[in-house]
Amino acid sequence: MENYIVSARKYRPSTFRSVVGQQALTHTLKSAIDNARLAHAYLFCGPRGVGKTSCARIFAKTINCLNPTADHEACNECESCKAFNEQHSYNIVELDAASNNSVDDMRNLIDQVRIPPPIGKYRVYIIDEVHMLSSAAFNAFLKTLEEPPAHAIFILATTEKHKIIPTILSRCQIYDFARITTQDIVSQLQYIAEQEGIKTEGAALNVIAQKADGAMRDALSIFDQVAAASEGNITYQSTIANLNVLDHDYYFRLIEAFKKGDVPEALLIYKEVRDHGFDSKFFINGLAQHLRDLMVAYDPRTRSLLEMSDELAEEFAKQAVSLNPRWYYVAMDLCNTCDLNYPTATNKQFLVELTLIKICQLLAPAPAPTPGGGGGVPLRSIAQPTAQQAAPQQSAPQPTAPRASAQGQSAAPAAQPAAQQESHSRFDPIASSGVHRFNTKQTLRFDSATSKEKESEGPARVRNAVFNQDMLTAAWNNFIRNHPHRRMLISAMGMTQPTLTSQNVFEIRVSEVQKSIFDQDITEILAAIRDELQNDFVGMNIQIVETAPRPKYKTPREIIEDIRTAYPAIESLINDFKLSMK
């Protein structure tokens, strides 16, 4: 019975031509060999499984080949190549720095460097995971690395370049290996499957490539695992079942539920996912990735960023165009917030369900009247009012009694222009989500939709009365007067005053401590101000300002010392009368 060899070893590259996904780098190495411009030290760095050690071996084999080919590849027929292929070449010395990282190990290597190669021109020393060397070992290696014998070439390989001391980096030619693209991995897996007589589906190989995350070695290991489980017929279903990958179909169905605002359907899909044994954090991260892919698929210019099969990319593009791209920004932000809060959440399932409900409400239709006037209150869309909702106000405006301003002047709400109504009907991700938005000036904005549910029969009337700075200040001060028991809040509100910056947005300037107080009650403050100003589009910016440092209070001794320094006569008086400071 023939011994089984895993694909990662059986199909390990043996020539520059067979290296996957590093064409630019291998071309540079071949050019250096062709022009006889070989450095004495190289540093190969990059993620795991991208071919660093394989390229080091191929490079060492090629520069010692006695009869290189016309395209600067090893001939595999000369004495040096045969010794390398049979793994008993004395021209190549490999050292694992993870287990040989002491000063003594480095001194033994330095002693070997003096020995010239028995065959060929160079003796190549490949030090893998070089970042594992101790500081003392690095220092012992420095002199030899800088001035090695003419026959010695060092190739250092590492996955963590930042851990290598600068004095080592400055002595090496540095080659950065890139992650292997999904398409390159899929192509290599298709080639191996043909060589092994294994039937595959393109979607299945794409899942394996994405799971490998740019590492060819990982992809080959996963390929062997799936091939063994599927008995030589790798299908999409068998692959996702074996690798515990969540099917895209769940997320496609979830997006359809979001489009309809169907909260029960979204929660049932989430339950179905959990019943299949998938972790909630894995699910929410997968949803965020799916939303990102939909956003990328929306614009033909960015579809090249999708690392998936053409068939699946077309499916993403078909669903992507049915949603506003600005909706994706809010939905992704909600998923990201859920992911950040997940580790500290007491009820993790509730956190995910609440996130799904919020996303459903972004495009939820207007609530239908409850039969009989009873029962529960339906969920209301948190998107901006639609043009149909604002139309009744435009066609038949309701008369409103004049209202006194802060100076006693009367001000009636002006009719909302058609263009302004249209602008409000457009989808605003900040307004629809109620999430915080930061800019470079550390400004926090709250722009949620209508703050308070009104119980009324028929369509809800959108309020958009015109107000000025005096009316805004009066509404702010009225809130302070009406809530005397909220001492911390009214104290923070009393230390700042709102400033109207645009038609419906005002700004307050507070410190970090005051901001934390406002964060707890911002919804209530906005609701009260909107009710008093009769405007559902009032928004607030919170700009965080740096507080001045507290003055340092001096002790009596420090005050006297300052006086003695400033007035020499006081110092003489103290010395003449032999006064003491106690």
More confident residue, 442 or 149: 149
**43-87, pLDDT tens digit by residue?**
988 888 888 888 888 888 888 888 888 877 888 888 888 888 887
Tokens representing residue 412 in the block: 């009636």
- Residue boundaries of the structural domains of the chain: 7-176, 182-243, 248-362, 436-452+463-548, 551-582
47, 117 contact by CB (below 8 A): no
Predicted confidence at residue 2, as pLDDT, reads 60
Predicted confidence at residue 426, as pLDDT, reads 40
Torsion of CA 219, 221, 223, 224, to 10 degrees: 170
Of the candidate ranges 31-45, 90-104, 301-315, 397-411, the one whose mean pLDDT is the lowest: 397-411
Mean pLDDT of the chain: 77
**Exposed e or buried b per residue across 171-183, where buried means at least 16 C-beta atoms within 10 angstroms of its C-beta:** bbeebebebbebe
Amino acid at 443: T
**248-292, pLDDT tens digit by residue?**
888 999 999 998 888 999 999 999 888 888 888 889 998 999 999
The number of beta carbons lying within 10 Å of the beta carbon of residue 93 is: 18
**Exposed e or buried b per residue across 402-424, where buried means at least 16 C-beta atoms within 10 angstroms of its C-beta:** ebebeeeeebebeebeeeebeeb
- Topology annotation, domain 182-243: Helicase, Ruva Protein; domain 3 (1.10.8)
Predicted confidence at residue 398, as pLDDT, reads 42
pLDDT category, 129, cuts 50, 70, 90? confident
Cβ neighbourhood burial of 396 (10 Å; 0-12, 13-18, 19+): exposed
Second-level CATH architecture of 436-452+463-548: 2-Layer Sandwich (3.30)
405, 465 contact by CB (below 8 A): no
What CATH homologous superfamily does 7-176 map to? P-loop containing nucleotide triphosphate hydrolases (3.40.50.300)
Helix axes 248-260, 310-320, angle to 10 degrees: 10
| pLDDT above 60 for 548 | no
pLDDT category, 323, cuts 50, 70, 90? confident
Q: Measure Cα distances from 378 to 258, 409, 455, 505 in Å.
A: 16, 40, 12, 29
Of the candidate ranges 137-151, 374-388, 450-464, 528-542, the one whose mean pLDDT is the lowest: 374-388
Q: How far is CA 565 from the centre of its chain?
A: 58
Predicted confidence at residue 288, as pLDDT, reads 92
Residues 6+ positions from 76 with CB-CB distance below 8 Å: 14, 82, 85
| pLDDT above 70 for 25 | yes
Predicted confidence at residue 350, as pLDDT, reads 92
Residues 6+ positions from 219 with CB-CB distance below 8 Å: 49, 180, 185, 188, 189, 208, 209, 211, 212
Q: Measure Cα distances from 472 to 405, 438, 478 in Å.
A: 9, 24, 10
DSSP per residue, 156-180: EEES-GGGS-HHHHTTSEEEEPPPP
Average pLDDT over residues 129-135: 85
Predicted confidence at residue 578, as pLDDT, reads 74
**Exposed e or buried b per residue across 519-539, where buried means at least 16 C-beta atoms within 10 angstroms of its C-beta:** eebbeebbbbbbbbbbbbbbb
**484-531, pLDDT tens digit by residue?**
888 888 888 888 889 988 888 888 988 887 888 888 788 888 888 888
Give the 3-state secondary structure of residue 518.
helix
Tokens representing residue 176 in the block: 């950065």
Query: How many angstroms separate the CA atoms of 286 and 249, rounded?
Result: 12
8-state DSSP, 245: P
| pLDDT above 90 for 96 | no
398, 461 contact by CB (below 8 A): yes
Predicted confidence at residue 353, as pLDDT, reads 92
Predicted confidence at residue 308, as pLDDT, reads 77
Q: How far is CA 242 from the centre of its chain?
A: 27
Predicted confidence at residue 488, as pLDDT, reads 82
Which pTM does this prediction carry? 0.55
The number of beta carbons lying within 10 Å of the beta carbon of residue 327 is: 22
Q: Assign domain 248-362 to a CATH class.
A: mainly alpha
Predicted confidence at residue 552, as pLDDT, reads 62
Give the bridge partners for 42, in sequence order: 155, 173
Predicted confidence at residue 549, as pLDDT, reads 55
| pLDDT above 80 for 571 | no
Q: Which position has the token pair 């930061």?
A: 438
